[in-house]
Chains A and B, each alone.
Chain A
Amino acid sequence: MAQTNPQSSLQVGTWDQLKTRLNRGIWPYLLITTYSLVVTLLLFRNPSTSRNTDILFVLFLGIMLLTYKMALRPEFKLAIAALFLGIGLPYFGTLNPFYMDIATMVGIFVVLALGLNVTVGFVGLLDLGYIAFYAAGAYLWAIFSTRQAQNIFPGLAHLFPVPPSWFFIFMLLALVVGACMGLLLGSPVLRLRGDYLAIVTLGFGEVIRVLATNLDRPVNITNGAQGIRDIGRPPLFFEPWVREMGVDLSQGQLYQLFFYFLVLLVLGFMIMVVYRLSNSRIGRAWTAIREDETAAIAMGVPLVRMKLTAFAVGASFAAVMGTIFAAKQLFINPPTFDLLRSINVLSMVILGGMGSIPGVILGATLVTLLNLQLLPRLARELSVLQIPSQFDPTQYQRMLFGLLLILMTIFRPAGILPEDRRRQELEGNAIDVPAEIEQSPPQATEPDVGMKS
């Protein structure tokens, strides 16, 4: 946290002093309230897609980061998050659907990055084929919500496509399918470490993509390279209530809102799951495996089971997000799930800070914003310079992103918000020590070694 601790107060600069002062008492509450209200009002007055709105949108998301960083009561933090993510952002989304879409994609990628963080960040197993689980979830819903499934079960053709309301059942099904796939990938690679593991998982990711490309013959399951279109959407079960409340929105807008809230819901659940797991015996075992596998086994950590659990947890959430993504996009094809996507998610984890939940959330948000919004915007702005078309800046998006990654790894190798186990332990301090322990005399305190000489 931004609070300065006594050790570092020896060498605080003016900036740190200011930070400390502003982070005490009522100041953070005033600051965060003013900041978020100003930014939100400015954003609402600028609904058109433009450079200014882009900047304001980023500042708006910055509310979350500030809230996280400042010394506020947890209830207040939650209230801010609920207010701005639950009301502010969706309202702005009705004014400008483009930003709504970006916010939804940010949510999807945050969940993916958090899932990958379980294997890469917590357990330290490099997984380069993570997107395969996402693909599995997407294809699961895509196949069964279209006529595609009739090819697989010709005898049961009348059952498919499944009714739209089954979407929710399929989300649960994807959770199971994803977990099973995680186990499937996990079990053969348990004995591998480092580079070998990375190569095997990379192969796995490619296998899934190639399967998706080629499973149109002999039985057309995935419709090959053409992809699947007209994917089913869940019913807008809440439409009548919204209409009753006098909100007049088109179906498209309602769907946008629906997917946004669905993603937000899954995201909230995901954050709860990873946070609680990481603070439990399972999470500690994961970190122990990352730190020293041999010592972990010797301390009674069942390596196989813990690694498989990690693969399953990460994979299941990716698959759930896959189903949501498929329903949202209405169209998926194999290139959506190529190696670059896997690497993209990995870069979110690394950029944010491996093993750090807030870091990964920030990393995923930043990378998604950069890829979808900021870098294209920058390229468009630069095109004013009349650069010859051979040097068209739109071509350089990826290069800028790469440059950013390089700079990050040089200057903040542990990520933007690195894993901080000390802060987490502050909660441990609250645990009562039994009276007899506190009162028992300090045992055999050794005299200072220096005194002897």
Chain B
Amino acid sequence: MALLQAKNVTKQFGGLLAVNDVTLTIDRGSIVSVIGPNGAGKTTFFNVLTGIYKPDKGSITFNGQSLLNLRSDQITACGITRTFQNIRLFNNMTVLENVLVGMHSRLHAPMWNIIFRTPTMRQEERQARQKARELLHFVGLDDKRDDLAKNLPYGDQRRLEIARALASEPKMVLLDEPTAGMNPHETASATRLIQRLRDDMGVTVVLIEHDMKVVMSISERISVLDYGIKIAEGTPDDIRANPRVIEAYLGKGATQESEATHQDPEITTQEAEVHTTPEVRRQKPAL
């Protein structure tokens, strides 16, 4: 069943068509990756989905509701949250507070109740803290809840972003390069976490990712953008074999070469190579 339907979404910056007529359907409870070379419009597409940019054309329906005329914070309240490519935590707030801010759309105590600390407000606050700690526990940061966000190591900051995104009780999270800049070890643990978002929390996950090992191992469907256009969509195996995708990543010559050698082994770039190594296949059942 479709949770999110984006139809013919177009976003233009001056003469640049950052997202060009992209149609994408995301099923409830799935893990979907959006990949593509740098500058392909992936992050812009996320920004359109979360209301940071308004699309020039097209429609976006989430959970049966149009998102077109909603502000970012209203979209969050509807159930879409995100993380950012370049981590954007609230640096001078504590880890716990970061998560509590994520909960904003679920807290309703009016100013009057806050000033006079009414029992309802206090209970809401207590429950919020409780839930924030549960989320921190889920991502493995509960013991660091009182640290300032800026003092966390890099991998933990990424985890915190995920916990903060989960705080608004989303139906869908958009993860923008969740493993960027991580070492292989951190990447593996982040991949496990993403898997658990769906399996344990029941959240639909859409991720932008450059690490093909991650993409191929956890995605159920993959969409490929290039120059703002969706050039391919399908299961990881479809995408791996798709000549247009290989062309987008490696240029025309590579396609011919790979066709000549019946795909795979000769492809030399790291990204393309990684997903075919036996190590990945071994890892998959463990996830």
Give chain A's interface residues, CB within 8 Å of chain B. Answer: 272-273, 276-277, 280-282, 284-285, 287-288, 291-292, 294-303, 309, 419, 421-422, 425-426, 428-429, 431, 433-434, 437, 440, 443-446, 449, 452
B101 lies within 8 A of A299 (CB): yes
Give chain B's interface residues, CB within 8 Å of chain A. Answer: 50, 52, 71-74, 76-77, 81-82, 84, 88-94, 96-97, 100-105, 107, 109, 111, 114-115, 117, 121, 125-126, 128-130, 133-134, 137-138, 140, 142, 145-148, 164-165, 167-168, 183, 185-186, 189, 192
List the B side residues contacting A292 at CB < 8 Å: 88-91
Partner of A277, one of B114, B133, B140: B114
Main secondary structure of the interface of B (DSSP, over half): helix
Task: Take A277-B111, A431-B129, A452-B185 as given contacts and tell me if A301 and B73 are in contact as well, using a CB distance cutoff of 8 Å.
Answer: yes
Q: List 24 A-B contacts (CB under 8 A).
A: A276-B115, A276-B117, A277-B111, A280-B125, A281-B100, A281-B104, A282-B114, A292-B89, A292-B90, A295-B84, A295-B88, A297-B71, A298-B72, A298-B81, A299-B76, A299-B164, A301-B101, A301-B104, A302-B71, A421-B97, A422-B146, A437-B137, A443-B137, A446-B186
Task: Take A277-B111, A422-B148 as given contacts and tell me if A444 and B104 are in contact as well, using a CB distance cutoff of 8 Å.
Answer: no
**20 other contacts beyond A299-B76, A421-B97, A444-B192, with CB at 8 A cut-off?**
A277-B114, A280-B114, A281-B100, A282-B114, A288-B101, A291-B91, A292-B88, A295-B84, A295-B88, A299-B105, A299-B165, A299-B167, A299-B168, A300-B81, A300-B105, A301-B104, A422-B146, A433-B130, A437-B142, A444-B189
B204 to chain A, nearest CB (A): 17
Partner of B133, one of A288, A299, A301, A437: A437
A434 lies within 8 A of B130 (CB): yes
Which of B72, B101, B140 is packed against the most chain A CB atoms within 10 Å? B101
Which of A288, A303, A426, A433 is packed against the most chain B CB atoms within 10 Å? A288
CA distance A443 to B102 in the complex (A): 23
B76 lies within 8 A of A421 (CB): no
CA distance A229 to B72 in the complex (A): 51
A-B contact count (CB 8 A): 140
B111 lies within 8 A of A298 (CB): no
B76 lies within 8 A of A428 (CB): no
List the B side residues contacting A431 at CB < 8 Å: 126, 129-130, 133
Which of B71, B73, B88, B105 is packed against the most chain A CB atoms within 10 Å? B73
Partner of A297, one of B73, B130, B168: B73
A280 lies within 8 A of B72 (CB): no
A64 to chain B, nearest CB (A): 23
Identity of the chain A residue whose Cβ is nearest the Cβ of B107 in the assembled complex: A281
CA distance A300 to B51 in the complex (A): 11
A300 lies within 8 A of B94 (CB): no
A300 lies within 8 A of B102 (CB): yes
A297 lies within 8 A of B52 (CB): yes
B157 to chain A, nearest CB (A): 12
Identity of the chain A residue whose Cβ is nearest the Cβ of B128 in the assembled complex: A281
Partner of B76, one of A300, A437, A440: A300
B46 to chain A, nearest CB (A): 10
List the A side residues contacting B164 at CB < 8 Å: 299
Partner of B93, one of A287, A297, A433: A287
CA distance A444 to B185 in the complex (A): 13
List the A side residues contacting B133 at CB < 8 Å: 431, 433, 437
Identity of the chain B residue whose Cβ is nearest the Cβ of A313 in the assembled complex: B111
A291 lies within 8 A of B109 (CB): no
Partner of A288, one of B71, B90, B96: B90
CA distance A33 to B183 in the complex (A): 57
Which of A294, A300, A421, A443 is packed against the most chain B CB atoms within 10 Å? A300
List the A side residues contacting B145 at CB < 8 Å: 425, 428
Identity of the chain A residue whose Cβ is nearest the Cβ of B183 in the assembled complex: A449
B89 lies within 8 A of A419 (CB): no
A298 lies within 8 A of B76 (CB): yes
A272 to chain B, nearest CB (A): 7
A128 to chain B, nearest CB (A): 23
B132 to chain A, nearest CB (A): 9
A419 lies within 8 A of B92 (CB): yes
